[in-house]
Amino acid sequence: MLLLAESDPSMNIDPNQIVFFDTTLRDGEQSPGCTMHHDEKLRMAHKLAELGVDVLEAGFAIASQGDLDSIRAIAKAVRGPRITSLARCKREDIEAAARAVEPAPSNRIHVFLASSDLHLEAKLRITRAQALEQAAESVRLARSFVDNVEFSAEDATRSDFAFMVQLVTVAVQAGATTINLPDTVGYTTPDEYKSLFQRIRAEVPGSENIIWSTHCHNDLGMAVANSLAGVEGGARQIECTINGIGERAGNAALEEIAAALATRRDKFPYTNNIVLSQLYPTSQMLGEIISFGAAPNKAIVGANAFAHESGIHQHGVLANPLTYEIMTPESVGVPANNMVLGKHSGRRMLEQRLTELGHPLTRDELDIVYHRFTELADRKKSIYDQDLIGLLSEKVTTAVTH
């Protein structure tokens, strides 16, 4: 059980506050099928501000002039979140990021460099010593443009621990204010990730003045669990995306983390700025923009997340929603509890739906219509209101002929 930490007035970090860093427009957008145009990014950025994200990674300025222009437009127009751009540890990247975020009243440059030997040797072809130098120089350069700099040790979860401590230490000494330990390839497990934060916080001088951040990919389906474990290990920023979009299997899903923090406050006694009722509308907007929405069984925002078809579940939810729902659909912005009529549905649900449609039935009438309903449901996957009305007309005919 976590205890609420005392706020330390000498730190500008509130240990009880979780910072939501949304990277839908950067890590999310760089995944197949998720490309967004300038106006779409701007629209989405306004929505993310309404959702209450604290940091909005609007793109990767060096990637293209279009990306730089979109970040700059967001930095000019969107108020609320701190606007950031990603940058490699290269002068031209950092200068482009600085130009892009410059109009925002509150901004950040997010620099990253790999910390694993695999990435240093195979991808960057630099030594550990060169990595230490590049990281320090880049953070210093970024700090010459903005006060708020994040350093990410890419592939942190597959890095040599002692070297990562060195790398992060030079980044902190050079002025980084947030340190992110990404699980770039979705490889870690919750207990490992929690202990990574605990161990590194104990080793890096001045770590209490740093916001430690999670960034989890979902290759093994553990991105959300790992992010929450990171919080248990002392991380206070979570990087995530709407609908969990992102490289390969995606990033940790913002809506799942926000709902988990709200539903399990007993385990996570922290505050955050997310407006829960905006989760579903934001997810819907993203789905509409990128032309594919969340899978039906996706937690929180999927079409079936609050849908009940089986008779036993429908009966329970009608009697008391808590029987099969751990949060209300309305609390996360889902319009209404979605009772789906199909072959698993019971008489009570049928009766309720018909009453809602303005056709209350007697007990005998319900027997007849329910029998027809089950026959139809054997042939048809979902039963819509017009199908029910069809069953009713048969009922009237039957009543007349008898």
Binding residues (CB under 6 A) for ligand KIV: these are 27, 86, 112, 152, 154, 180, 182, 184, 215, 217
* Residue labelled with tokens 């903005």: 146
For residue 343, the minimal CB distance to ligand KIV (Å) is 44
> Which CB atom, from 27 or from 309, has the smaller least distance to ligand KIV?
27
Of the candidates 22, 26, 27, 211, which one interacts with Zn ion according to CB under 5 A?
A: 27
Q: Which is nearer to ligand KIV, 182 or 230 (CB)?
A: 182
Is 159 or 184 the residue whose CB approaches ligand KIV more closely? Answer: 184
- Residue 346 binding target from Zn ion, ligand KIV, none, CB below 5 to 8 Å by type: none
Strands 19-22 and 55-59: parallel
Scored b (16 or more CB within 10 A) or e, 319-333 reads eebeeebebebeebb
Smallest distance, Å, CB 14 to ligand KIV? 23
**Minimum CB distance to Zn ion smaller for 17 or for 31:** 31
Closest separation in Å from C-beta 223 to ligand KIV:
11
Only segment of 22-30, 266-274, 331-339, 380-388 that touches Zn ion (CB under 5 A): 22-30
Distance CA 262, CA 276 (A): 9
- Buried-state track 141-153, b at ≥16 Cβ within 10 A, e below 16: bbbebbebbbbbb
Contact segment (CB under 5 A) with Zn ion among 26-34, 143-151, 261-269, 292-300 equals 26-34
Which is it for strands 82-88 and 55-59: parallel, antiparallel or unpaired?
parallel
Q: For 29-89, where are the E strands, in sequence order?
A: 55-59, 82-88
CA–CA dist 342, 383 (Å, integer): 6
- From CA 264, how far away is CA 334, in angstroms rounded? 19
By three-state DSSP, how is residue 274 classified? coil
**Nearer to ligand KIV among residue 186 and residue 281 (C-beta):** 186
- CB nearer to ligand KIV: give 251 or 272: 251
Kindly list the distances between the CA atom of residue 40 and the CA atoms of 55, 57, 73, 74, in Å, as whole numbers in the listed order. 19, 15, 12, 11
* Cα separation, 275 vs 1, whole angstroms: 25
H/E element holding 151? strand 149-154
Shortest approach of Zn ion to residue 180 CB, angstroms? 10
Smaller CB distance to ligand KIV: residue 27 or 93? 27
CB of 347 to ligand KIV, least distance (A): 51
Q: What is the closest distance, in whole angstroms, from the C-beta atom of residue 122 to Zn ion in the complex?
A: 18
- Note whether 29 binds Zn ion by CB under 5 A: no
Among 25-33, 191-199, 201-209, 263-271, the segment contacting Zn ion (CB under 5 A): 25-33
Query: What DSSP character marks residue 251?
Result: B
Cα–Cα distance for residue pair 175/39, rounded to 1 Å? 34
Identify what 154 binds: Zn ion, ligand KIV, none; CB under 5 to 8 Å per kind: ligand KIV
200 with 207: CB under 8 angstroms? yes
Q: Considering CB distances under 5 to 8 angstroms, the limit depending on partner class, which of Zn ion, ligand KIV, none binds residue 112?
A: ligand KIV
Sign of CA dihedral 233, 236, 242, 247: negative
Q: Work out what residue 282 binds among ligand KIV, Zn ion, none; the CB cut-off runs from 5 to 8 Å by kind.
A: none
- Output the residue with the shortest Cβ distance to Zn ion: 27
Name the phi and psi angles at 85, rounded to 5: -130, 145
Q: At its nearest, how many Å lie between ligand KIV and the CB of residue 202?
A: 23
Nearer to ligand KIV, 151 or 280 (CB): 151
Min separation Cβ 184 and ligand KIV, Å: 3
Query: What distance lies between CA 324 and its chain's CA centroid?
Result: 24
Contact 208, 236 (CB under 8 A): no
C-beta of 252 vs 340, nearer to ligand KIV: 252
- Which entry of ligand KIV, Zn ion, none binds 24, CB below 5 to 8 A by partner kind? none
Nearer to Zn ion, 27 or 54 (CB): 27
* Rounded distance between C-alpha atoms, residue 122 and residue 31, angstroms: 23
Q: Helix or strand or coil: residue 178? A: strand
User: Residue 28 CB, nearest distance to ligand KIV (Å)?
Assistant: 10
Give the type of residue at 310: S
With CB under 5 A as the rule, give the number of residues binding Zn ion: 1
Task: Please give the residue ranges that form the binding site for Zn ion (CB under 5 A).
Answer: 27
